[in-house]
Amino acid sequence: MPARLLIEGGVALKGEVAVSAAKNAALPALAAALLTARPLTLTNVPELGDVRTMLKLLATLGARVERRGREVTLTVERVTSDLAPYELVSTMRASVLVLGPLVARHGSARVALPGGCAIGVRPIDQHLKGLAKLGAEIVIENGYVVARASRLKGARISTDMVTVTGTENLMMAAALAEGVTVIENAAREPEVGDLAVLLAAMGARLDGIGTGRIEIQGVPELAGAVHRVVPDRIEAGTLLVAGAITHGDVRVTDMVPDHLAAVLAKLDECGVALETGPSWVRVRAGERARAADIVTSPFPGFPTDMQAQLMTLLGLADGQSTVTETIFENRFMHAAELARMGASITTDGSIAIVRGVDAYQGAPVMASDLRASAALVLAGLAARGRTEVSRIYHLDRGYERLETKLAALGARIERRP
């Protein structure tokens, strides 16, 4: 049987917990190693399923991987293969982040089309449209994107919607293109900003990071760099909700409170007491949370990656809340599992109506994707009795030893093989 988590609910979490580096910043940072022949070192790479998958993929493309604990050095003296195979891309969509760097540095890439996943269809048409604007010739052959270019040329690109990995792919490609690229409607997520910091350290020339208009002056070559990956705002938010939902007192450290402003504002609206320092937030929640409405949107809006966790808190709040998911069309899979624990949630398309109940009951539940898994763990922490969360390989893709961190705060939680 795949690994599960057993949780005895009802313990108020107390203490201090440090956040790991962001999965969604580490993955593009690793892919950026393809842009240079020189070594690229990341100093705080989290131990995650998705990081292992990315390292495996990069190794098949020609990267020498040296790992000393959390420090990873990648050296791609030569790209030895341009193929990102379906086996890897289908387990992790972020594999598509090798597309831009491969075309820019090597002149060709064959990357399996990711296909849909548990939370939505998730096309990559904007990545392809942008690369075509930069001069790549792109065809779809037997389920693979085949892209070729001698040297990419700077261009003005406007994406139809805000896309995080799309912006990252295009930034990496444009960094080695000839001339100036402008990306309009660019993603403003902190993970995009972190990639920009890394690219700048490698010698790229970028402007407008953190705004919707990024300008990149291409250079012929990039150098190596040493980089510390930005803290994981979604892990930080998840741990804060763990404190709130158990009526605990938890200080989450090594985080950037500004990156979580929309979530902190919502917790405040729910009546959760927060104290914020330069790199930490303390949560104390004595009372029952108040209902609140959430609408997910690109940064700096409320992140879709925190929607499931907040819904879990709202499921126990006083009153009725509405949760509107605008980024992904199928990201309410946790609602049906929460209902098995006693939640009262009805969904209709992109809207969930959450009527707060007094308590959750422990139950066997199944994780369907990464953030849904986190939501079920949170529900288990608050529930009366025992919860068993199965299929936690989803959780392990993006949270570094979440159960160890929760146990250190007093949670009765155990991993079973």
Distance (Å, rounded) from C-alpha 312 to C-alpha 331? 13
Which listed range, 77-85, 159-167, 219-227, 259-267, lies at the site for ligand EPU (CB under 6 A)? 159-167
123 binds ligand EPU (CB under 6 A): yes
Is the Cβ of residue 147 or residue 363 nearer to ligand EPU in the bound state?
147
120 binds ligand EPU (CB under 6 A): yes
Q: Which of 20, 24, 41, 307 binds ligand EPU (CB under 6 A)?
A: 24
**Residue 109, CB-side half-sphere exposure with 13 Å CA sphere:** 29
- Write out the binding residues for ligand EPU, residues 176-195 only, by CB under 6 A: 191
31: helix, coil or strand?
helix
Distance (Å, rounded) from C-alpha 84 to C-alpha 110? 6
- Write out the binding residues for ligand EPU, residues 305-364 only, by CB under 6 A: 305, 327-328
Helix ranges (DSSP H) in 62-114? 86-89, 99-106
Which listed range, 36-44, 62-70, 114-122, 141-149, lies at the site for ligand EPU (CB under 6 A)? 114-122
- Write out the binding residues for ligand EPU, residues 353-412 only, by CB under 6 A: 370-371, 398
**Residue 336, CB-side half-sphere exposure with 13 Å CA sphere:** 8
Q: Which of 304, 321, 387, 390 binds ligand EPU (CB under 6 A)?
A: 304
Q: Which of 7, 58, 164, 172 binds ligand EPU (CB under 6 A)?
A: 164
Is the Cβ of residue 181 or residue 304 nearer to ligand EPU in the bound state?
304
Which listed range, 34-42, 79-87, 137-145, 163-171, lies at the site for ligand EPU (CB under 6 A)? 163-171
344: helix, coil or strand?
strand
Per the rule left: phi > 0, alpha: psi between -120 and 50, beta: everything else, 208 is left
124 binds ligand EPU (CB under 6 A): yes
127 binds ligand EPU (CB under 6 A): yes
H or E segment at 182?
Answer: strand 180-184
Distance (Å, rounded) from C-alpha 102 to C-alpha 62? 11
Q: Which residue has the tokens 């993970």?
A: 191
Tell me the number of residues near ligand EPU by CB under 6 A.
25
Helix ranges (DSSP H) in 202-270? 233-245, 261-269
Q: Which residue has the tokens 């109940």?
A: 357
So which residues are the catalytic ones? 117
166 binds ligand EPU (CB under 6 A): yes
Chain residues in the site for ligand EPU (CB under 6 A): 24, 27, 93-94, 120-127, 161, 163-166, 191, 304-305, 327-328, 370-371, 398
